[in-house]
Amino acid sequence: MDTAEISEANLVTLTEDAHKSSDDDLQQLLQTLPKEEGWSGSSFYLYQGFWCSARRLKPVISFQRHFPAVDSNVIVASLPKCGTTWLKALTFSTLYRNQFARDENPLLNFTPHQLVHQLEYDVYVNNPCPDLETISIYKPRLFATQVPYASLPISIKDSRCKIVYVCRNPMDTFISLWLFIEKLQNESQELVSLDEAFEKFCHGVCAFGPFFDHGLGYWKASQENPKKILFLKYEDLKEDINSQLKHLAMFLGVPFTEDEEKQGVVEEIAKVCSFENLKELDVNKKGLFIPGIPNESFFRKAKVGDCSNYLTPSMVERLEKLIQQKLDNSGLTFKLSSKTSKA
Ligand code: PAP
């Protein structure tokens, strides 16, 4: 059975199952799901067509079931290692720029992940119905998710809330993810080899993957509803952050005024959110995101094309073929260093 078939079959029974979130129900549900070994010893389960660890599934289901999206909400969406940290910083700084003094951006003292909460991690992890009022003091409320478009809560799709998605070329995403997991590996975990991880990635087995399904889900939705979903690419942000920021502000309904542009507000936001700035801030150099994951692990090299230092020519060829196959006629393309990969 391929991923699509499994997904179809699961959707019917699992939406019902999603209404039960006790641990017993979760265990029962897990037994019905296709299972694969993950990259570092724990298993991934195929839930509604995407791969998810058992630990993550419970908050995902609570999020699906209980998140009460309202029209003013903004959701930042991504796959791990596609630019989540950067997009959180950019969206936060753009959306709330009139709520703090220009030289007092909260990013100077808090990590992007502390300022923009991840729905299926910190928001729903301990409580199926958290009080969202107390989670963020800023309005309109801004949250983040890695759940694929097809599996987002109905309230997000039915309301007029906006989604900003960031995608990254799969080669750099794979290497960034691999190096992140490798660095955090501890003795109790069994990390697969780079070759094995690559096989898994190509078969779609990575957190919230398959990679291509995730990107294409948001891509198609953004094509159908461009006022609701803005699709950004990491490589474009790297290439011209100022115009991407203006685009983002316009999409969010808070365009930069002429005065702001003259005063250099766009450049200021780009600079505060830049890799070079964030990486050197004490708040990002010290402390833990969650136990076992230091804040500094979200800042590595931030280079487009760094994958070429790790992937063999045959791996590159295989991914290029996959890109062609998966993105065929979709209109979605990726920049892999200087060249653009077209479907
Ligand atoms: P997450 O999904 O687990 O939160 P995410 O932020 O998407 O991680 O990915 C981290 C990548 O973004 C790292 O890429 P690298 O491994 O290729 O270096 C990290 O360096 C990069 N990154 C983090 N912050 C920024 C930033 N401000 N600008 C550009 N890239 C960044």
- Show me where the domains of the chain are located: 33-327
At 11, is the secondary structure helix, strand, or coil? helix
Please state which of the ranges 19-23, 188-192, 247-251, 337-341 shows the lowest mean pLDDT: 337-341
Ligand 1 contact via 112 beta carbon (within 6 Å): no
Using the mean position of ligand 1's atoms as its centre, give its distance from the Cα of residue 84 in Å.
7
Which band of pLDDT confidence, cut at 50, 70 and 90, is reported for residue 9? very low
Residue 238 alpha carbon, nearest atom of ligand 1:
29
Residue 89 alpha carbon, nearest atom of ligand 1:
27
Which band of pLDDT confidence, cut at 50, 70 and 90, is reported for residue 291? confident
pLDDT of residue 342 exceeding 90, the answer is no
Does residue 146 or residue 185 have the better pLDDT? 146
pLDDT of res. 134 = 86
pLDDT of res. 1 = 33
CB environment 162-189: b (16+ within 10 A), e (fewer): bbbbbbbbbbbbbbbbbbbbeeeeeeee
pLDDT of residue 24 exceeding 50, the answer is yes
Q: What count of residues does the chain have?
A: 343
Check: pTM over 0.95? Answer yes or no. no
Look at ligand 1, atom 2, and give the residue with the nearest C-alpha.
80
Using the mean position of ligand 1's atoms as its centre, give its distance from the Cα of residue 299 in Å.
6
Using the mean position of ligand 1's atoms as its centre, give its distance from the Cα of residue 285 in Å.
14
pLDDT of res. 136 = 78
Candidate from 299, 306, 311 with most ligand 1 atoms within 8 A of CB, to mutate: 299
Q: What average pLDDT is seen over the chain?
A: 91
Using the mean position of ligand 1's atoms as its centre, give its distance from the Cα of residue 85 in Å.
6
Which band of pLDDT confidence, cut at 50, 70 and 90, is reported for residue 189? confident
Which band of pLDDT confidence, cut at 50, 70 and 90, is reported for residue 122? confident
Looking at the chain, the whole-number percentage of residues with pLDDT higher than 90 is 80
**CA 107: distance to chain centroid?**
19
Torsion sign across C-alpha atoms 186, 120, 111, 179: positive
Ligand 1 contact via 181 beta carbon (within 6 Å): no
CB environment 7-21: b (16+ within 10 A), e (fewer): beebeeebeebbeeb
CATH number of the domain located at residue range(s) 33-327 in this protein = 3.40.50.300
